[in-house]
Structure 1
């Protein structure tokens, strides 16, 4: 595994590989779509086979429970989830509670191991897994393929604003598939990354850093309502606790010059006046600046302010706080 500095460099300049931890389940039956829409915070009933979506998962009290990556096929749905409450248990309970006849949720084995590959040349790592040119696979689409002689699913999706893919292989083949994709990443000067650096790479581009970013906050305060459909009028888990009210505090990105970012929970002040707390502190990962997220009272949650957090000077800034290479470098070039 690469150290934190090299891990960050791989994500931003080449390709970083990591195991996308969590559970994988398959939904089948007549009402699998209804089951899915009840479990997710984002609407999914109009999703087409061959596509994927990512959604927040809420608990019964409307708090963020985790996130789910959903793969839509003609006859079934695969859900890759990372939640505080096991989503398979939620699904089986909901089948009974909602009386969803001929609907089933079970642990996935054939594609039960998820491996993420992210970075501006991550497409080179996935090249050849399918018969299709990598440039033809659009964001939020998936294809069947083969890795090391075994069937896999290649999904185009990412969390760092660089190109990104998730490869689903069988639970049994997962570790060997991880080694194979890591070897491919090393060929382009990348490798297996330390997952801790994802905090920084994701926070820089406004991807949710879960669970810490959402702890104790509404989805609006946490700034992650874009991963949900909060104005839905159908029934879904956690809906009764959603309040469509303007927040009085918000998340804003900030940096420190030449030092690590203050620890989470440190008070943030403006000329001695308390205005918020450090919500997310990310690894410096060999960079000149520290980086993190502050939870600040309105109207302080704007870029361009110089504040104090835990005795350190922090400066708020707009996101994306980096210039992703993938925005100007085409796949295949």
Structure 2
């Protein structure tokens, strides 16, 4: 991959990396907005307090995942944030669920950017008044971002490093990313591109949307954690979820000193047991990394496999060593 990708990956793992987040933002309003949110998302939201966020899968009628969204819980509205260029048909889903007293409004005036990495807390600290170590995972605090009518910082992340989401109103996405990049540069980091980001995300089992879910149900994709499987109420896709099973599933694979061959058959000895479902960018790392879709019971770490003559080893995740796990905030 390019030097930009290599540098972006190292920013994520070593210092701080800025990137744009959220290509589509919708606001749910009206008296039934919380019930509607609970219906749309596969993860429980009834205990989510204003000022917090929830990340959840949105299922389709077949028990697959059609999106992974952030729900930013506000006092008067809920913002839904998607990484896809366009949302699924939220209005049609709500109408089918009988939610007629809910507004669904695009919010192009909302911009989002993220900063992740072991030094990201240092980057975000000048934007907030709250002691940065006091901001807990999924919580938010008001922020000051030049040029924005209002701003909020949420603590969240996708790479197992410290991470923060900046949400602004009245500022362009480009201007917000420039601000986030400036803050990351101030602590020795910089920007990251999507290629580096998805490599870092896949290493720690954060979903790669939409590529990871192509042709798979939620169990095959190893994404049950993006749902609340113990729910007994009705929600979008819940009828299919009860019947979803898996005879195959994803497992992370590493290729020492080589790239993982995209789309190749995966073999245990001479027996074909699956395919490479997703080959991740090298991002400057010596070893290739990918997700293999293999038959059960081969979805376990520690197996030696091969694909197109490339030796693979199945690995548990996290398959990286996040510095944020050993370096404290503050």
Instruction: Name the TM tier (shorter chain).
Output: over 0.9
The answer to whether the 8 A contact 1:306-1:313 is kept is: yes
- Tell whether the 8 Å contact from 1:57 to 1:83 is kept in structure 2 after alignment: no
Partner of 2:194: 195
Compute the TM-score of the two structures, normalised by the length of structure 2. Answer: 0.94
The correspondence of residues 202-221 of structure 1 with structure 2, limited to 5 A, is 202-221=201-220
Question: Shift of the alpha carbon at 1:189?
Answer: 1.9
Partners of 2:85 and 2:236 in 1: CA distance: 14
Give yes or no for contact 1:66–1:84 (8 Å, CA) kept in 2: no
Deviations 1:84-134 (A, max 9, x none): 7624x41x3344444435421111245x11111111111112112221011
After TM superposition, give the deviation of residue 52 of structure 1 in Å: 0.8
In structure 2, which of residues 309, 324, 327 is the aligned counterpart of residue 326 of structure 1?
Answer: 324
Cα separation, 2, equivalents of 1:141 and 1:109: 23
Alignment of 1:46-65 (within 5 A): 46-65=47-66
Counterpart-to-counterpart distance in 2, 1:76 and 1:84 = 22
Q: Is the 8 A contact 1:118 1:160 kept in 2?
A: yes
Counterpart Cα distance in 1 of 2:284 and 2:177? 26
Alignment RMSD (CA, Å): 1.8
- How far residue 78 of structure 1 moved from its aligned partner, in angstroms, is 1.2
Residue aligning to 1:119: 117
Is 1:294 matched with 2:295?
A: no
Shift in Å, 1:3: 0.8
Partner of 2:9: 8
1:95–1:308: structure 2 CA closer, same or farther, 3 Å change rule?
closer
Confirm or deny that 1:310 pairs with 2:321. Answer: no
**What is the match of residue 178 of structure 1?**
177
The answer to whether the 8 A contact 2:251-2:299 is kept is yes
Unaligned runs of 5+ in 2: none
Contact kept, 8 Å, 1:31 with 1:102, in 2: the verdict is: yes
State the Cα deviation string for residues 192-215 of structure 1 (Å, max 9, x = none). Answer: 111111221011111112212111
| Alignment length (residue pairs) | 328
Moved over 6 A (4+): none
Flag the 1:99–1:245 CA change in 2: closer, same or farther, 3 A: closer
Aligned partners of 1:21, 1:278: CA distance in 2, in Å? 28
SS in 2 for 1:35: helix
